[in-house]
Each structure stands twice: as C-alpha cells, then as structure tokens.
C-alpha cells in the first residue's frame, strides 16, 4: 500500500511541477486566473520543502534527506522528459499555432516560457542533488566528481544522474532496513558475549580514534550488545614485537575490566600477531577464542618473490620513508622490512613449527576471494594478478590456501562480479556490496561466539 501511495504522490508532484514550470501549459488553463498561477507556485514550493511522503518509515534524518533528494531528482527527470515530449507533440500537431499564444508578443512569451522552465528545473535539480551529495555515504568522492564533470555533457549527464539516484536510493533502503532489524532484535543483545571483543588490525594500519580500521563494523556490533576493544599494536613491526604488544594489551584490558578473558577477532597479519601473543607471550590464559580474518597463516609466496627481486637499496629507501612517517603517527619503533619479511611463506613456515595452538583456546578462521582482477579497489586490483601467479585464487593479497587455521574454517564466496577483497572483509571502503553484507556477517559471527559460550 505504501508503495502504491508513493507512486500516486510522485505522479501528482510531477503534474504540479510540470504545470508550475511551463508557461505554455499554464496558458492552456481556462482563462489563466491569477489564483491558478498562485496555487501552482504554492504547490511547487511545497514540493521543494516536502518532496516525498512525510511518513515513509525512515528511521533517521540523514536517510530522510537522502530519500527527499532522490525524489526531487526523479521529479526533475520526469518533468524534463514530460516537458520535452509535450512541446514536441504540440509543435507536430500545429507548427504555426504553437507560437500563437493567447497573450503578449509571441517572441517575448516564448523567451519567458523557456526561462521559467529552465529556472524551475534548475531549482528542483540543485535542491535534489545537494541533498544526496550532503547525505549519501555510498556515492563516494569518485561519483560526486563524475557527477559534476558529466553534468555538462548532454545525454551522458542523464545516465550519470540515473546512477546517482539508484545508488542513493539503494543506500536509503539498505540502511533503513538495517536500523529496523537492529531495532527489532535490540532486546536480544545477540552480540553480548561472555567475554569482550578485542579487534586486532593488520599490517600498515593503526587504530586511530576517528578513522576506524574496521569501518562501520564496531558500531554495528555495539548496537547489538558487544563490548569492543582494539589491539593498538604498531602498524609495521615483526610478529614477535607486535605479539608482545598485544599480550600486554590483553592483560591491561583484563586487569582494568575484570572480564577474565577476551575474544580476539584479528585481520590479516593481526592474526599472526595474535597467535604469537597467545602461544609465546603468556596470553593464552586470558583468551577465550581467536577468529582470524583473511590471515596469511602460511604466508605469501609473492612476498618472497618481491623481497628476492627488489634490490636492497630500494627496499631500504621505502622502509626508511615508511618508518619515518609512521613514527610521526604514533608507532614507537616501526620496522617495515621485518613486517614484510614475516609475511613471506618461508617465514610463516618456520614460525608455524614453533607457534602452536594453546589448549583451552578456540581457534577458527575465515577467508574470501576476489572474482576478477578489476573487482578490487586500488591497489588490490593491481596485486591480484601477481598473487594469483604465485598463490592461486586470492583476495587481492593472500592466497586461498593460506587462510585455514583452527577447528573451523569458512571460505566466503560472492557470486556477484566483484567478489570479496582483503579490504572488503574489514569494511575498509564503507561500501555496501551486492551479495555480501559485511556488517551483518560480523554480527552473526559474534552471535555464534555467544552461542558457543564465549
């Protein structure tokens, strides 16, 4: 019923906008009374202020603004097509009479007609586009820029605008459905595990306060009852160094909260760091479970290749530049070369001989893959082929055979064109992927830990 009402409302708005925008159409009204024009102007103003139904069931102001923007842009497109078709029809029916209008000089009225149409269309368009540009998170910088550039290219601009509307409208539906879902299960607290979560980042990233490594995932987990902490280990150091830092962090959390243990969810190299902390640094007594996400447990053959082919001088230049930058961002003793070396297949093979799973800790692992090279965001679209050559099917950085570890292993496959990349698994780009809801995946992952008693 709501969908039918929405369509009726849209058609009425389109008709009102068409009449308000087109002097030629106004001139066909009976006698063109002044109150008729005033009414059209008033209705037009209402359309701009309240472009869509006030009760759409949307749960946030941002989504309502975005939905209103989509409605205005649809009205813009519909009215542009309607006005063009109407004028073409009138002209083909009576080419001479088309310009013989009831009042004023024909040329002046024709100019007024065009100016009014352009003005009204421009107001509706900019009202709509500003709303979605200011409220949508899924458009991203690239499509916002493309929208501005292609806006000046006839025909192309219509296709780009249609894409912007479709993307923003899909975001409204997806985000509102998620809010409704969380609201419906709020009392269940399905992510309220016995032990808090410790989320451990991978290599070359840090846990920043305003730039979350895990994207929108932690917010979704806390919405469903989880207590979330972060590893805070260095962005680039050896597995041993990061493992010691993590062990200290775990003891700190247990000491300050009295929680007894933690459930670790670790991504990429963070999984290797966590295994070392548990097995070699005495943290096993404080860890209930370890879930590794796209972790190279058996290393990356392509990393061995790169370190063997790139001259030592060039390696040192890159390492020095990175270490200097990361010291300024908070790393105490970053070591780029050690971090990369510990990701090689040879280093992981040697480490696996000594770093054994601890008794009493539940280990599980998860992996994913891209479906084609160009599916991933830069630089994963560049590295995919290289990794594929050495390690086979991969997520852009890690080969499929390197993921499995522990009692349980899940390999995630997305049948869509893109697949699921190394970055997608931590919501790196804050992007809603077709066929894979990364936020709900983590909610169910943590809910499963709760059901297991962790």
Q: How is residue 343 written in tokens?
A: 């990701």
pLDDT-derived band at 171, boundaries 50, 70, 90 = very high
What does the mean pLDDT of the chain come to?
83
Q: Which residue has the higher pLDDT, 274 or 35?
A: 274
Model confidence at 104, pLDDT cuts 50, 70, 90, reads very low
**Mean per-residue pLDDT, 16-34:** 50
* Confidence (pLDDT) at 31: 47
pLDDT at residue 16 in the model: 53
**Lowest mean pLDDT, pick from 78-92, 125-139, 203-217, 422-436:** 78-92
Higher pLDDT, 453 or 324: 453
- Is there a single domain that holds both residue 139 and residue 244? no
Which tokens go with 323? 């270490």
Residue with tokens 């090279």: 373
Q: Sorting pLDDT into bands at 50, 70 and 90, what band is 365?
A: very high
Domain termination site, one of 153, 182, 211: 182
| 335 vs 41, more confident | 335
Looking at the structure, tell me whether residues 178 and 217 fall in a common domain: no
DSSP 133-154: HHH-SSSHHHHHHHHHHHTTST
Same domain (yes/no): 366, 441 = yes
Specify whether 142 is located in the same domain as 233: no
pLDDT at 238 over 60: yes
pLDDT at 54 over 60: no
Domain count within the chain: 2
Hunting for tokens 């006698």 — which residue is that?
31
- Looking at residue 3, what is its pLDDT? 52
Does residue 107 register a pLDDT over 80? no
Q: Are residues 165 and 292 in the same domain?
A: no
pLDDT at 267 over 90: yes
434-438: average pLDDT? 93
pLDDT exceeds 90 at position 75? no
Residues 245 and 122 in one domain: no
Mean pLDDT calculated for residue range 385-394: 86
Let me know whether 147 and 225 are in one domain: no
Together in a domain, 166 and 194: no
281 has pLDDT over 80: yes
Long-range CB contacts (within 8 A, 24+) of 107-116: 109/23, 109/27, 112/23, 113/22, 113/23, 113/24, 116/21, 116/22, 116/23
Q: What is the pLDDT of residue 200?
A: 98
**Cα gap 21→34, rounded to integer Å:** 15
pLDDT score, position 417: 82
For residue 13, what pLDDT is reported? 53
- Provide mean pLDDT across the span 16-22: 54
**pLDDT reported for residue 319:** 83
Model confidence band, residue 325 (pLDDT cutoffs 50, 70, 90): confident
Pick the closest to residue 14 from 51, 39, 59 (CA basis).
Answer: 51
pLDDT band at 346 (very low <50, low <70, confident <90, very high): very high
Residue 450 has a pLDDT of 97
- Cα four-point dihedral sign 284, 290, 293, 294: positive
Report pLDDT for 30. Answer: 42
pLDDT beyond 70 at 253: yes
Please say if the pLDDT value at position 437 is more than 80.
Answer: yes
**Sheet order of strands, 197-200 included:** 228-230, 197-200, 262-267, 287-293, 362-368, 408-412
**Are 224 and 127 members of one domain?**
no
Question: What's the domain range around 371?
Answer: 190-451
The total number of residues written for the chain in this structure? 454
Q: Which of 115-119, 282-286, 339-343 has the highest mean pLDDT?
A: 282-286
| Listed residues 182, 214, 248: the one ending a domain | 182
| Domain identity same for 334 and 200 | yes
Whether residue 277 is predicted with pLDDT greater than 90 in this model: the reply is yes
- How far does Cα 410 stand from its chain's mean position? 23
Residues 68 and 205 in one domain: no
The CATH code of the domain that includes 228 is 3.40.50.1820
CB 278 within 8 A of CB 212: no
Which of 146, 162, 182 finishes a domain? Answer: 182
Q: How does pLDDT run across 83-94, given as a tens digit for each residue?
A: 666 666 655 665
User: Do residues 255 and 394 both lie within one domain?
Assistant: yes
**pLDDT, mean of residues 46-50:** 56
């Amino acid at each position: 019923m709501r969908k039918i009402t929405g369509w009726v409302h849209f058609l009425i708005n389109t008709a009102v906008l068409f009449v308000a925008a087109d002097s030629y159409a106004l001139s066909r009204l009976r006698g063109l009374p002044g109150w008729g024009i005033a009414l059209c102007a008033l209705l037009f103003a209402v359309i701009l202020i309240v472009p869509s139904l006030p009760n759409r069931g949307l749960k946030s102001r941002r989504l309502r603004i975005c939905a209103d923007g989509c409605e205005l842009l649809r009205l813009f497109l519909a009215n542009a097509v309607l006005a063009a078709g109407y004028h073409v029809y009138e002209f083909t029916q009576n080419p001479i009479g088309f310009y013989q209008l009831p009042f004023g000089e024909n040329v002046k009225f024709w100019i007024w007609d065009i100016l009014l149409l352009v003005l009204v269309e421009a107001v509706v368009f900019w009202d709509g586009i500003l709303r979605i540009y200011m409220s949508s998170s899924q458009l991203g910088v690239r499509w916002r820029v493309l929208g501005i550039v292609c806006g000046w290219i006839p025909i192309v601009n219509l296709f780009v605008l249609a894409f912007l509307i479709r993307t923003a409208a899909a975001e409204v539906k997806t985000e509102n459905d998620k809010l409704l879902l969380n609201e419906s299960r709020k009392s269940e607290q399905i992510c309220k595990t016995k032990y808090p979560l410790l989320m451990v980042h991978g290599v070359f990233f840090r846990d920043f306060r305003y730039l979350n490594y895990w994207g929108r995932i932690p917010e979704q987990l806390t919405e469903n009852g989880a207590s979330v902490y972060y590893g805070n280990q260095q962005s680039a150091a050896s597995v041993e160094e990061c493992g010691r830092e993590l062990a200290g962090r775990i003891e700190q959390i247990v000491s300050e909260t009295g929680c007894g243990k933690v459930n670790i969810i670790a991504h990429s190299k963070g999984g290797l760091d966590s295994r070392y902390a548990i097995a070699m640094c005495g943290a096993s007594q404080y860890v209930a479970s370890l879930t590794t996400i796209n972790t190279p447990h058996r290393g990356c053959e392509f990393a061995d290749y790169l370190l063997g082919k790139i001259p030592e001088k060039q390696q040192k230049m890159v390492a020095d530049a990175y270490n200097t930058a990361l010291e300024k961002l908070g790393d105490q003793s970053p070591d780029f070369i050690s971090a990369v070396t510990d990701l090689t297949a040879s280093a992981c093979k040697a480490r696996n001989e000594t770093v054994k799973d601890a008794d009493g800790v539940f280990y599980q692992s998860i992996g994913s893959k891209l479906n084609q090279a160009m599916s991933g965001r830069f630089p994963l679209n560049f590295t995919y082929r290289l990794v594929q050559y050495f390690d086979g099917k991969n997520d852009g950085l890690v080969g499929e055979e390197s993921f499995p570890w522990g009692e349980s292993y899940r390999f995630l496959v997305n049948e869509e064109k893109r697949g699921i990349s190394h970055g997608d698994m931590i919501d790196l780009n804050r992007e809603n992927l077709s066929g894979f809801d990364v936020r709900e995946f983590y909610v169910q992952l943590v809910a499963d830990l709760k059901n297991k008693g962790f």
